Amino acid sequence: MRKTLSILLLLVALTPVVWAQKYACVNTDYILKSIPDYASAQKRLDKYVADWTKELQDKQDELDAMHADYEQENYLLPDNLKKRRQEELKEKEQELKALQRQRFGADGDLDKKRAELLKPVQDRVYATIERIAHEKNYAFIFDKAASATLLFSNKKYDISDEVLELMGYKPGAATEPPKGAEDKGNRRPTNPETRQRDNKTPLPLGPVK
């Protein structure tokens, strides 16, 4: 009982200190969509994803055709040829799975491209938010785009436009990347993919693991 009472008294004593802290909120979705560099990088990433998807689908179609041919011919084949064809099919399946992991597995090509193309912009946003927090002595800055528990926020505490202005961008509606920006970024050899994946959601701010 004494222990419980001590905890309650401590909480009561700390309450004024907690409420005295300055806080603000941002909307990182809104911020990132207002930065042309981010929109351009997202389009480049989408192009890589489309290419990899086509590559993997082509290999899947090739494997399906091999299976269909084998099903039609296996009853006519001698045992030694059956075994060889089965080994070929198994090898193709393993190659396809390996390519899927390479493109979309953990630390695969997609993760690397997202870090290469999107993370630099996200790091700039994060650094700007941190700078404002230090300059204005904010104890907490909440992200309205990422927090599922933030049920209400007053607009006067939203510093999203301040972040954009400090980065040199005009607050407002989402902007389009400069004309031809995505074409310039796609003059690389393209490769292709297999599963559908939504890549339009911005990465959370902070270091990519």
pLDDT digits (tens, 9 = 90+) for 80-93: 999 999 999 999 99
Count H helices and E strands in the chain, helices first: 8, 2
Instruction: Please report, for the chain, the start and end positions of each structural domain, with discontinuous segments joined by +.
Output: 21-185
Element housing 140 (H / E)? strand 140-143
pLDDT per residue as tens digits for the range 136-156: 888 888 888 876 556 456 677
In this prediction the pTM is 0.65
Task: Lowest mean pLDDT of 63-67, 85-89, 97-101, 145-149, name the range.
Answer: 145-149
Element housing 76 (H / E)? none
Q: Tell me which residue has tokens 């099919």.
A: 89
Q: HSE of 170 in the Cβ direction (CA atoms, 13 Å)?
A: 5
